[in-house]
Chains A and B, each alone.
Chain A
């Protein structure tokens, strides 16, 4: 009755899955390095690659030092941190709420951060480190509002997303109002919180964001086994010994913090949180959580989009990175909406 199958078959499958994930991560890393090399070398003054390397190693001339450490490296590093943080935040939201639309940029959490940042600049006259703090509080307020409005003895992804989309529209309206009422000189500064940009990257921003990630990402790492169980549905995860609601709430707080802090420094770089994890998971295609590949896709997306925004547009046109990621992300959103109902998921 029971056919004898070598018991190694499932181990082969595991090995195969691991190799595939490693291969894709290495490929993505190579692409990230390629974009990084290009971003550091190319610009108004193009540095040959060997010079970039000597400069990075601390042996560069003063002029090269200024170009690399003063201009290009901060922008590249901020882009990478922003990409990774948004990607992980989106991956967490989408997995925990089991809905591909549940990403902080779609459900108004980035919107909350933007509105609060704009308010603090235009009406409270804040600047510097106070603005990111306001953005963080705004995101937290938006997330709390969504969570409370969606709560019915538990949170389902569908209701969370519907309410979140409503909140996103409200935040857009608030932001629009603030911008039209604000002082023209300040509006210029506030605009970055509408589309997202990493042009004004400073080393302080980078250090603060890097420290935040250094705390939050290992925390996410500790939760990975539990998230993998939650992928199997709440009941199965509960049956396997996961405390479903408290685990989800903790992780949502981490995801909100990631999105909020990142938005605080770079604005809501459109669609990065939304598309990174789905792209990574599609590349790997084994139902794995794929957090590392998602982060790599996010990094690649932001750094490459910023490269395009700076160098590859016709003439001398330079736009914030969020415009380019928006151009990439919007068709995916349309595709998702067009195919979701066909698959009968109603999401």
Chain B
């Protein structure tokens, strides 16, 4: 599903160097190094409170580092103009909010903000990018609908369209499949894979579901207690020992019969467990 109108842009490098992050002086992440794999799908996994969302907020400029720095093409993102960073790095937060009554077209159009000047001229490029964002996410037919009328899956596609209109080379998403049923989860993850393959967009997302992560990631980053404890292709990274140390959970790792990726089958106390 490639489109001639979509040109691949020069790649950008996003990197965390000795990064420390926290809230109100409480440290969550310290001394973390990460180079986002260009043109790949990276999935960050980890137990609750392992710092994965915090890391995403840190590399997306939403959270100022307590120490260290985050660089985009070698330059600290906090010394660059916010809009300049936003033209390259887009982020979809975990539960975005929209004003009551806003239509899909209006919301997606607002994604063009970082490309507009002080007097907000709407150019033909803006026009083309919004059209393309709606097309790529299959939401064009929803354009005049209100956000609150949409189903969860549709709504998430619309938000993704909004960040696509922003036309970022690097797309960060914080748990984009939360609150979606399994059909819509697959739909969203397929869409993101589509964007990665057809546009070459670098995708970094936080996911809860280990098996979805293992299937959709080119590169998986496993976090525990504010540290990256393993990273690499899922086949090389995921093992029962790793799941034990990251999630304190006993499990067996088998091969996903659909795609050959590792698949984690948890072992509890009952139903074949120790009891």
B-contact 0/1 string along A204-245, CB 8 Å cutoff? 000000000000000000101100110111011011111100
Q: How far is the CA of A7 from the CA of B24 in the complex (A)?
A: 46
Residue A311 interfacial (CB < 8 Å)? no
Partner of A287, one of B103, B113, B172: B103
CB pair A10–B108 under 8 Å, yes or no, is: yes
Question: Which one of A13-21, A130-138, A294-302 is at the interface?
Answer: A13-21
CB pair A231–B62 under 8 Å, yes or no, is: no
CB pair B83–A241 under 8 Å, yes or no, is: yes
Q: How far is the CA of A162 from the CA of B166 in the complex (A)?
A: 36
CB pair A12–B111 under 8 Å, yes or no, is: no
CB pair A7–B23 under 8 Å, yes or no, is: no
Which residues of chain A come closer than 8 Å to B90, judged between CB atoms?
239
Nearest CB on B from A102, distance (A): 15
Residue B96 interfacial (CB < 8 Å)? yes
Residue A152 interfacial (CB < 8 Å)? yes
Which residues of chain B come closer than 8 Å to A7, judged between CB atoms?
131, 134-135, 140
Task: Tell whether A235 pairs with B93 under 8 Å between CB atoms, given A228-B110, A287-B101.
Answer: yes
Nearest residue (CB) in A for B62 is: A238
Nearest residue (CB) in B for A235 is: B93
Q: How far is the CA of A241 from the CA of B143 in the complex (A)?
A: 24
Residue A286 interfacial (CB < 8 Å)? yes
Partner of B93, one of A12, A236, A287: A236
CB pair B105–A10 under 8 Å, yes or no, is: yes
Partner of B86, one of A3, A12, A233, A241: A241
Query: Which residues between 284 and 319 of chain A lie within 8 Å of chain B, taking CB atoms?
Result: 284-288
Q: How far is the CA of A239 from the CA of B57 in the complex (A)?
A: 9
CB pair A9–B138 under 8 Å, yes or no, is: no
CB pair A241–B96 under 8 Å, yes or no, is: no
Residue A5 interfacial (CB < 8 Å)? yes
Number of interface residues of A (CB under 8 A): 38
Task: Tell whether A14 pairs with B105 under 8 Å between CB atoms, given A9-B141, A153-B24, A240-B110.
Answer: yes
Q: How far is the CA of A240 from the CA of B91 in the complex (A)?
A: 8
CB pair B144–A241 under 8 Å, yes or no, is: no
Which residues of chain A come closer than 8 Å to B100, judged between CB atoms?
281, 287
Nearest residue (CB) in A for B166 is: A240
Task: Tell whether A229 pairs with B140 under 8 Å between CB atoms, given A7-B135, A241-B82, A243-B82.
Answer: no
CB pair A12–B113 under 8 Å, yes or no, is: no
Which residues of chain B come closer than 8 Å to A242, judged between CB atoms?
82, 113
CB pair A236–B96 under 8 Å, yes or no, is: yes
Nearest CB on A from B162, distance (A): 8
Which residues of chain A come closer than 8 Å to B99, judged between CB atoms?
231-232, 287-288
CB pair B96–A3 under 8 Å, yes or no, is: no
Q: How far is the CA of A77 from the CA of B255 in the complex (A)?
A: 77
Q: How far is the CA of A201 from the CA of B116 in the complex (A)?
A: 43
Nearest residue (CB) in B for A233 is: B97
Residue A180 interfacial (CB < 8 Å)? no
Partner of A225, one of B60, B85, B103, B113: B113
Which residues of chain A come closer than 8 Å to B60, judged between CB atoms?
238-239
Nearest residue (CB) in A for B3 is: A2
Q: How far is the CA of A84 from the CA of B200 in the complex (A)?
A: 49
Nearest CB on B from A24, distance (A): 13
Nearest residue (CB) in A for B135 is: A2
Partner of B106, one of A1, A5, A286: A286
Nearest residue (CB) in A for B137 is: A2
Nearest residue (CB) in B for A12 is: B144
Nearest CB on A from B121, distance (A): 11
Task: Tell whether A287 pairs with B23 under 8 Å between CB atoms, given A9-B141, A10-B131, A240-B113.
Answer: no
A-contact 0/1 string along B13-33, CB 8 Å cutoff? 000000000011000000000
Residue B206 interfacial (CB < 8 Å)? no
B-contact 0/1 string along A83-99, CB 8 Å cutoff? 00000000000000010
Which residues of chain A come closer than 8 Å to B87, judged between CB atoms?
241
CB pair B102–A287 under 8 Å, yes or no, is: yes
Query: Which residues between 72 and 95 of chain B lie within 8 Å of chain A, taking CB atoms?
Result: 81-87, 89-93
**Residues on A facing B (Cβ under 8 Å):** 1-3, 5, 7, 9-14, 16-17, 98, 152-153, 222, 224-225, 228-229, 231-233, 235-236, 238-243, 281, 284-288
Q: List 23 A-B contacts (CB under 8 A).
A: A1-B138, A9-B105, A9-B143, A10-B104, A10-B105, A10-B108, A10-B131, A14-B106, A17-B106, A224-B120, A225-B120, A233-B97, A235-B62, A238-B61, A238-B91, A239-B86, A239-B91, A240-B166, A241-B85, A241-B113, A241-B114, A287-B99, A287-B100
**Residues on B facing A (Cβ under 8 Å):** 1, 23-24, 57, 60-62, 81-87, 89-93, 96-111, 113-114, 116, 118, 120, 127, 130-131, 134-135, 138, 140-141, 143-144, 146-147, 162-163, 166, 172
Given A243-B82, A287-B107, 14 additional A-B pairs, CB 8 A: A7-B131, A7-B135, A9-B105, A9-B140, A9-B143, A10-B143, A11-B127, A13-B144, A153-B23, A236-B91, A238-B82, A239-B90, A281-B101, A288-B102
Nearest 4 pairs of A and B residues by beta carbon: A287-B102, A241-B86, A235-B93, A10-B105
